[in-house]
Amino acid sequence: MKNDNYTQIFLETVKDEVDFYEVQKILKEYTQGNIWLIGGFVYRSIVKGLYGTSRPDIDLDFIIEKPEKDIIFPENWKEIKNNYGNTKFIRNDGLIVDFIPLDNVNSIIRRNLNSTVENFLTGTPMTIQSIAYDISRNIVIGPIGLKAIKDKTVAINNIEEAEIYARKKKKSIKEIMQQKAKELGFRVL
């Protein structure tokens, strides 16, 4: 299946997700570069569209190429810092939005790589996480994540990042992979 087919599935699945479009609009006002939606919202939306699985309530995670210093959300949002010192907004109803400047992505910094979305995608802990929706180009990218969706598998993408992720979640890598696979109806490789 081509990327544009995955993009169509993603866009069809999220067409009524007003939160996604509200946050996207806000972020576009405060950045000069590209914006990528990453994480569970992307892959779970595609899996829902392809296989009919449910998508639990999840937060929205973005990577921003050139954010302005201060991004301002409406009054019903509060700003905090996440564990890595990046900005996180929480809306009164519980919706969480994380955004990370591309040049502050820990896996890129740790591996001493150039700040590119491609290098971000090689540093995700699991293959299923190696996917992004490029808002500027209106396309889903990430061949590793797309292959994982097509093959209905969850595997390690970057062992060092998987170990860090597991420690943060206080679970083993195997437990995390099994949990993600079960949620999606996939198998662990």
Rounded distance between C-alpha atoms, residue 58 and residue 48, angstroms: 13
Question: By C-alpha distance, which of 166, 123, 164, 115 is closest to 142?
Answer: 123
97, containing H or E segment:
strand 96-101
Name the more confident of 37 and 23.
37
> In the CATH hierarchy, which top-level class contains the domain 3-151?
alpha beta
Question: By C-alpha distance, which of 116, 122, 85 is closest to 103?
Answer: 116
Q: Which residues contact 87 (CB under 8 A, 6 or more apart)?
A: 71, 79, 80, 81, 98, 99
Rounded distance between C-alpha atoms, residue 51 and residue 46, angstroms: 8
Domains of the chain by residue range: 3-151
Alpha-carbon distance values, 155 to 1, 18, 111, 130, 184 (Å): 20, 32, 20, 11, 13
Model pTM score: 0.91
pLDDT tens per residue across span 127-158: 999 999 999 999 999 999 999 999 999 999 99
Residue 57: CB atoms within 10 Å? 7
pLDDT tens per residue across span 156-171: 999 999 999 999 899 9
Alpha-carbon distance values, 48 to 43, 51, 145, 167, 181 (Å): 8, 5, 15, 29, 14
pLDDT tens per residue across span 67-121: 776 777 778 888 888 777 777 888 888 888 888 889 989 899 999 999 999 999 9
Secondary structure of residue 88 in the 3-state scheme: strand
Q: Quick check: 3 pLDDT over 70?
A: no
